[in-house]
Chain A
Amino acid sequence: DQQVKQNSPSLSVQEGRISILNCDYTNSMFDYFLWYKKYPAEGPTFLISISSIKDKNEDGRFTVFLNKSAKHLSLHIVPSQPGDSAVYFCAASDSNGGSQGNLIFGKGTKLSVKP
């Protein structure tokens, strides 16, 4: 039962162009969404998040868009840099029912940014 889906296992982008990573979710109770970046042999590193009361959050080159009606979010990286090459995980959590915020992750999308 995949509650968080990242349907593209990989994405290749030219340096300087936009990278768009997509994520879909099925659980309408999710109200907090995060993107993590992961390099090999390291733990996930937090990038950006958005709560369900917003539809956009921006931090430097990273912007996350949330479309609640479509249960879809996306991460835009502009401009893409070779150092952005990593696996990107979408994660979601549900604040209801006394949850302490355990994260449900997608399978990840491997981004390759070519010079």
Chain B
Amino acid sequence: EPEVTQTPSHQVTQMGQEVILRCVPISNHLYFYWYRQILGQKVEFLVSFYNNEISEKSEIFDDQFSVERPDGSNFTLKIRSTKLEDSAMYFCASKGLAGGFYNEQFFGPGTRLTVL
């Protein structure tokens, strides 16, 4: 069964450093998303990406964040200068076109980011 994969599973970084979180969405999917979950809190939407551009972004997704689909398979989230409060589990998700809007998103296993 196709699945969303994410690397690394755990990333530890120093405050102020740049990190890139990587995702490989399901191959025939066209909509891509990043979410995060701070420990003990709910899963929060960060950004959606379609047709090689950002469709929507939340207040959390400020100019320290960027996304890219550098090739036909990868989807990356970059945090330019990490802060302590960026420590969270980051989930990538993708969605196919079949069924239109009313179609579930498939989530990857997540990357745990720890900022020291």
Contacts and interface: CB of A to CB of B under 8 A. Distances in A.
B73 to A, nearest CB: 18
B105 A107 contact: no
Size class of the contact patch on chain A: 20 to 34
A100 B102 contact: no
B48 A100 contact: yes
A44 B107 contact: yes
A46 B106 contact: yes
B25 interface: no
Given A42-B109, A43-B107, A46-B104, A100 B91 contact: no
Interface stretch (B36-44, B64-72, B74-82): B36-44
Contacts, number: 68
Contacts of B109: 41-43
B48 A102 contact: yes
Interface string A85-108: 000010101010011111111111
Contacts of B43: 44, 89, 91, 103, 105
B108 A101 contact: no
A42 to B, nearest CB: 5
B91 A44 contact: yes
Interface of A: 32, 34, 36, 41-46, 49, 51, 89, 91, 93, 95, 98-108
